[in-house]
Amino acid sequence: MLVSPYLVHFFLFVAFPVAFSIVLTFHKWNIISPMEYTGLNNYIRLFNDKTFFKSIGNTLIFLVIHIPLQIIVALFLAEILNQKIKLRGAFRGAFFLPVIVSGVVVTILWQQLYGYDTGLLNRLLTGIGIAKVGWLTDPNIAMSSIALMATWKNVGLYIILFLVGLQTVPTQYYEAADLEGATHMQKFFKITLPMINPTIFMVVILSTIGGFSLFIEPYIMTGGGPLNSTVSAVLYIYKQGFFYYHMGYAATLGLFFAFIILAVVVIQKKFIEKDH
Amino acid sequence: MKKFKSTLFYVSLTVSALIFVYPFYWMIIGSIAPENEIGNLTLMPKSLTLSSYSQMLDKIPIGGAFINSLIVASSITIGVLIFGSMIGYALSKLVFKGRDLIFYIIIFTMTLPFQITLIPQYIIMVKFGWIDTYLALIVPYLINALSIIMFRQYFKSIPDSLIDAARIDGCNELQIIFRILWPNSMPAIITIGIITFMASWNEVLWPLIVIRDESLMTMPQLVTLFAVGGRAESQLGVKLASAVMLALPIVVAYLFFQKYFIQSMASTGIKE
């Protein structure tokens, strides 16, 4: 039967892992020695693990900065690109370039741009007489720096999504508004914004799911420092699992974190449905 | 006044575009500048050198990693297209027991965060003895829910009469999929092919977990470990050179197929 490959794949790589991860949460295991039943120990440990909750907090900080920034920048640039302009394809291509490149490339590049002494950004700031910023060395700023970089990387994709959304707005609405003498600002807030609401919500959900998997950026850029200020939840799970080989504990963290992700997405969806 | 306004408009647009392009330009000139010039480099280094590249090539097997990435991403893409179209066809055009159940299971797996299955999947790889083999990189990704849903959507728009005619001519189900549906589904195949290839080419967390042998590493993994580990000896130019090498294949592909890339990536969001 045609769907049998799917069923095999599903049981092997989805159903079994989910069931097994629940079993793992009640065990201590480093893969090499036999599994050891430890009851609720992993859960007790989780609720006392300050670094884990900090990593969740860091991930949320990332989302809170990244998502609004991304929507504002993407909407602004999409609105501009939606006008009759020359070289639209070239501009769109430029904004899209960081999207296709690996996050590894972007992170290595921005690590240099963010450098304290010789980084391009600080050289620019000192050039115009502003004090240097500890982009990656100041624990209060480092996560924002990563969120800014992620916005730069992903915004091109959301520009395209918004452009598609903007093209669905009927032009008669704008023509009618022009007759009434509406300003550009009024047209944007009274017509455009309400009409592309569905796109905005889609962007929120997509970038929430993406943001919760934040890993390679802090892994390369800061290793989670300074003072654990950039440890993302996935980075912390990765360290517990593949650095310390605490398989049972890492599975517990993964399960718990997955529930947080689902809860956040469900709450967002509720808001969306309420609005419609 | 109007002319002034439109000039201002283009100036600000160009500045915005530069913010996205200039860092890549800086990355390239940084990789061909002498190490001591990178710290104050802005537009063009005083002298050019390929020493960063030759040092990097001495230290890491980047060519081998390119081949590994190519093998892994191509195998995954081919698998996703074949299995995705088979399952998408069954779900859209055939009637069988449990069809709706399977469809709901697929939708459910799309909402399942990978953070749950990461650790157990690694353990499965260990138990299968697949650590440090291509199998670990390829097999778990051969089927994915999004591609099935996208094929199902697309096949729904193909008229049943086409399939019935093929069946009367004696085609079996596989012939129907690959001889009749595929030639009529090029937009879907291109879209799914590009997003799958891109995603597997850029994947880095999973390779970091299942591959320890340097000769089997994919490009992003190798470059990551090079940048994080001590082997770049905190030399900026060498790191930038490795980043350029990693970016190059995808950027070249992008320059040729820009339109398809943008359409494909955008449709992943729209199809929801």
Residue A190, min C-alpha distance to chain B (Å): 23
What is the per-residue pLDDT across A246-260, written as a single tens digit (0 to 9) for each?
999 999 999 999 999
Q: What CATH number does residue B90 fall under?
A: 1.10.3720.10
Do B29 and B102 share a domain, yes or no? Answer: no
Q: Which residue of A has its CA nearest to B256?
A: A93
Does A168 lie at the interface with B, CB-CB under 8 angstroms? Answer: no
CB contact under 8 A, B119 and A247: yes
Do B193 and B145 share a domain, yes or no? Answer: yes
**3-class DSSP assignment, residue A36:** strand
Average pLDDT over residues A171-186: 87
Do B12 and B82 share a domain, yes or no? Answer: no
What is the per-residue pLDDT across A65-113, written as a single tens digit (0 to 9) for each?
999 999 999 999 998 888 877 888 888 889 999 999 999 999 999 999 9
H or E stretch covering A28: strand A27-28
pTM, entire model = 0.91
The percentage of residues in chain A with a pLDDT greater than 70, rounded to a whole number, is: 99
Q: How many contacts (CB atoms, under 8 Å) link A and B?
A: 228
Question: Is residue B211 within 8 Å of residue B126, measured between CB atoms?
Answer: no
Give residues 19 to 58 of A whose Cβ lies within 8 Å of B: 20-21, 24, 31
Residue B54 included in any domain: no
Q: Is the dihedral of CA B40, B45, B46, B47 positive or negative?
A: positive
Identify the pLDDT of residue A70: 95
Domain count, chain B: 2
Instruction: Supply the range of the domain harboring residue B145.
Output: 60-270
Q: Which residue of A has its CA nearest to B209?
A: A242
Point out the residue among A13, A96, A120 whose CB comes nearest to the CB of B140.
A13
Does A152 lie at the interface with B, CB-CB under 8 angstroms? Answer: yes
Does A174 lie at the interface with B, CB-CB under 8 angstroms? Answer: no
B98: left (phi > 0), else alpha (psi -120 to 50), else beta?
left
Q: How confident is the model at residue A122 (pLDDT cuts 50, 70, 90)?
A: very high
Measured between beta carbons, which residues in chain A are less than 8 angstroms from residue B223? Answer: 104-105, 108
CB contact under 8 A, B224 and A104: yes
Do B180 and B79 share a domain, yes or no? Answer: yes
Residue B55 included in any domain: no
**In the predicted structure, residue A180 carries a pLDDT above the cut 60:** yes
Do B29 and B85 share a domain, yes or no? Answer: no
Mutate which: B12, B18, B115, vs A, most A CBs within 10 A: B115
ipTM of the complex: 0.89
DSSP string for residues in B208-240: HHH---GGG--HHHHHHHHHHSGGGTT-HHHHH
Measured between beta carbons, which residues in chain B are less than 8 angstroms from residue A103? Answer: 202, 204
**In the predicted structure, residue A183 carries a pLDDT above the cut 90:** no
Amino acid at A94: A
Identify the pLDDT of residue B2: 64
Point out the residue among B39, B116, B240 whose CB comes nearest to the CB of A118.
B39
Do B193 and B84 share a domain, yes or no? Answer: yes
Does A263 lie at the interface with B, CB-CB under 8 angstroms? Answer: no
Q: d(Cα A253, Cα A259) in Å, to the nearest integer?
A: 10
Amino acid at A253: L
CB contact under 8 A, B228 and A80: no
Do B118 and B232 share a domain, yes or no? Answer: yes
CB contact under 8 A, A118 and B40: yes
Please enumerate in sequence order all residues whose Cβ is within 8 A of that of A64, keeping only pairs 6 or more positions apart, or say none. Answer: none
**In the predicted structure, residue A12 carries a pLDDT above the cut 60:** yes
CB contact under 8 A, B40 and A5: no
What is the per-residue pLDDT across A13-28, written as a single tens digit (0 to 9) for each?
999 999 999 999 999 9
Token pair for B97? 């027991």
Do B30 and B148 share a domain, yes or no? Answer: no
More confident residue, B197 or A275: B197
Q: B131-136 long-range CB contacts below 8 Å, 24 or more apart?
A: B131/B210, B131/B211, B131/B212, B132/B210, B132/B211, B132/B212, B132/B213, B132/B216, B133/B216, B134/B68, B134/B71, B134/B72, B134/B75, B134/B216, B136/B210, B136/B211
Residue B257 included in any domain: yes
Point out the residue among B27, B116, B140 whose CB comes nearest to the CB of A18.
B116
Identify the pLDDT of residue A148: 96
- Number of residues written out for chain A: 276
H or E stretch covering A27: strand A27-28
CB contact under 8 A, A21 and B119: yes
Give residues 84 to 143 of A whose Cβ lies within 8 Å of B: 85-86, 89-105, 108-113, 117-118, 120, 123
Do B250 and B141 share a domain, yes or no? Answer: yes
Identify the pLDDT of residue B115: 86
Measured between beta carbons, which residues in chain B are less than 8 angstroms from residue A250? Answer: 119
Identify the pLDDT of residue B272: 38
Q: d(Cα B137, Cα B203) in Å, to the nearest integer?
A: 10
Which of A151, A73, A140, A146 shows the shortest CA–CA distance to A114?
A146
Q: d(Cα B170, Cα B165) in Å, to the nearest integer?
A: 9
Token pair for B264? 């494909």
Measured between beta carbons, which residues in chain B are less than 8 angstroms from residue A121? Answer: none
Q: What is the pLDDT along chain B (272 residues), one digit of tens a residue?
A: 567 777 888 888 899 999 999 999 999 999 999 888 887 777 888 888 888 898 899 889 999 999 999 999 999 999 999 999 999 999 999 988 889 999 999 988 888 888 889 999 999 999 999 999 999 999 999 999 999 999 999 999 999 999 999 999 988 989 999 999 999 999 899 999 999 999 999 999 999 999 999 999 999 999 999 988 777 667 888 999 999 999 999 999 888 888 888 888 777 654 43
Q: d(Cα A112, Cα A164) in Å, to the nearest integer?
A: 34
Average pLDDT over residues A125-136: 90
Do B11 and B129 share a domain, yes or no? Answer: no
More confident residue, B135 or A198: B135
The per-residue pLDDT of chain A, averaged, comes to 91
Residue A95, min C-alpha distance to chain B (Å): 6
Amino acid at B178: F
DSSP string for residues in chain B: -HHHHHHHHHHHHHHHHHHHHHHHHHHHHHHHS-GGGGGG-SS--SS---HHHHHHHHHS-HHHHHHHHHHHHHHHHHHHHHHHHHHHHHHHH---TTHHHHHHHHHHHHHS-HHHHHHHHHHHHHHHT-TTSHHHHHGGGSS-HHHHHHHHHHHHTS-HHHHHHHHHTT--HHHIIIIIIGGG-HHHHHHHHHHHHHHHHH--HHHHHH---GGG--HHHHHHHHHHSGGGTT-HHHHHHHHHHHHHHHHHHHHHSHHHHHHHHHHHHHT-
Question: Is residue B123 within 8 Å of residue B157, measured between CB atoms?
Answer: no
Measured between beta carbons, which residues in chain A are less than 8 angstroms from residue B254? Answer: 97, 100
Average pLDDT over residues A33-39: 89
Identify the pLDDT of residue B271: 43
Give residues 61 to 80 of B whose Cβ lies within 8 Å of A: none
CB contact under 8 A, A13 and B121: yes
CATH number of A49-275: 1.10.3720.10
Question: How close are the terminal C-alpha atoms of chain B, in Å?
Answer: 45
Do B214 and B187 share a domain, yes or no? Answer: yes
Token pair for B3? 């002319």
Identify the pLDDT of residue B218: 96
Give residues 130 to 189 of B whose Cβ lies within 8 Å of A: 140, 142-143, 148, 173
Does B23 lie at the interface with A, CB-CB under 8 angstroms? Answer: yes
Residue B179 included in any domain: yes
